[in-house]
Structure 1
Amino acid sequence: MRSGLSTVAALVLALSGAAAHAADPRYPDWPCAQAKVPDISLAAVWAGPALDDAETRWKDDTKVSALVSKLSARKIPLDEAEKSVKEFLAGSASDKTANAKLLFAGLFDTLNGQRSQVMNGLERVSRKQRDAADRIREETIQLQALQDATPRDDAKVEALSNQLVWETRIFEDRRKVVRFVCEVPTSIDQRLFALGRVIQQELE
């Protein structure tokens, strides 16, 4: 059991050490290999006409807000979303530019919001992981002391051993989830850029 615990301790030390030395000191809780970009720049994803008051009015248009909700859902394949954009703008006639601006304003607002939620969630989990690493490290030391004690309390040794195994499993499961979720902000960026490009192409 001692060799197994040494492996656990080494794993936790390595992971907590990596978290403590973030790639960007401005964001010490950011757990992803990808650089943290807090917000998407409007200029990076939109070269169409100025949005003006569309940034605040898009929610007032029921058709646009419903379409924004649909297109922002990541479960909707991107090619299907792009097709919906084209169909919507094709039927807009004289209001095409106005509707295009409303639609993109809604997508920009909504997807930026989703992105912020995901990133905040990642940082919350990162803090939990750091706390968990500290706790597992302390409990590993406690267990080693219990194992060396004379007389040895086997019931306490077994209980703490089982607790460590469970906590380490949760730690590892979270680490795998974080690695997967780290891809989400990038996929949101790509979705917004792709839909913005289609909207702009429809205006040309």
Structure 2
Amino acid sequence: MIVRVLVTSVLVLAVASTTAHAADPRFPDWPCTQAKVPEISLAAVWGGPPLDDVQNKWKDDARISALVAKLAARKTPLDEAEKLVKEFLAGSAANKTANAKLLFAGLFDTLNAQRSQVMNGLERVSRKQRDAADKIREEAIQLQALQGATPRDEAKVEALSNELIWKTRIFEDRHKVVRFVCEVPTSIDQRLFALGRVIQQEME
């Protein structure tokens, strides 16, 4: 009974996941209900001066590189990150605009890279989940055949039942993690937008 309930829940999750994928055929492995946007658009998060002249130059400035790493880290609370931006730019004086541009360029590159890493990881897990659901379905059919066999091999029935319970629980745990991680790209978007706004305000 326990096996049947667990397997049924897996199949329901698998069907729901497949339905979500069908919503956008361009990204068949994308497991989230949120639409997949592969990269953050610079225009959506930055209304300041053009960044063409800074490009990767932020990496050459040790202070800015260190600050970018701290600001981009999700363990740094957003209000603390905003405070650090203000303190840094307040002490920039004549170089404020240049430093502000370098700082945002670094944040844009770093957070976009973080976001891509998270999204790629989600799609890898999604592929594993589809494979896992297929295997659980196949083993559920095998279990039904063993249960209906005459004579019935109780040792094999118990072994396969236990394996199915274990695999199904792993599947469900991964599904819960995926739902949580699906929120991360959005939180990165919001972080970049918020920090970009503070940087622009400090430039004025």
The answer to whether the superposition gives a TM-score over 0.5 is yes
The 5 Å alignment of 1:88-127 reads 88-127=88-127
> Are the aligned partners of 2:89 and 2:99 in contact in 1 as well (CA < 8 Å)?
yes
Q: Provide, for residues 47-106 of structure 1, a one-character-per-residue CA deviation record: whole Å limited to 9, x for no partner.
A: 001112312101000000000000000011000000000000000011000000000000
Is the 8 Å Cα contact of residues 143 and 161 (structure 2) preserved in structure 1? yes
* Match in the other structure for 1:46: 46
The aligned amino acid for 2:114 is Q
1:13 has 2:31 as partner: no
Gaps of 5+ in 2: none
Shift of 1:20: 2.2
Paired residues, what number? 202
Q: How far, CA to CA, are the matches of 2:53 and 2:69 in structure 1?
A: 20
The structural deviation recorded for 1:112 is 0.3
- Tell me, yes or no, if structure 1 residue 55 matches structure 2 residue 55: yes
For 2:6 and 2:141, how far apart are their aligned partners in 1?
A: 11
| 1-structure distance, mates of 2:53, 2:116 | 23
C-alpha deviation, 1:9, in angstroms: 3.2
Shift of 1:16: 1.7
Matches of 1:100 and 1:142, distance apart in 2: 63
SS of the counterpart of 2:56? helix
Following the alignment from structure 1 to structure 2, what is the Cα–Cα distance between the partners of residues 24 and 10?
A: 26
Distance 2:138 2:95 in 1: 65
The answer to whether 1:167 aligns with 2:187 is no
Task: Give the aligned residue type for 1:153.
Answer: D
Residue 51 of structure 1 aligns to a residue whose secondary structure is coil
Q: CA deviation at 1:155?
A: 0.6
Q: Is the 8 A contact 2:111 2:192 kept in 1?
A: yes
TM-aligned CA deviation for residue 12 of structure 1: 2.3
The residue that corresponds to 1:151 in the other structure is: 151
Q: Which residue of 2 aligns with 1:132?
A: 132
Percent identity between matched residues is: 79
Asked if structure 2 preserves the Cα contact closer than 8 Å seen for 1:48 and 1:200, the reply is: yes
Q: Which residue of 1 aligns with 2:86?
A: 86
Asked if 2 retains the 8 angstrom alpha-carbon contact of 1:19 and 1:29, the reply is no
Q: Equivalents in 2 of 1:128, 1:45: separation in Å?
A: 34
SS state at 2:55 partner: helix
Amino acid at match of 2:203: L
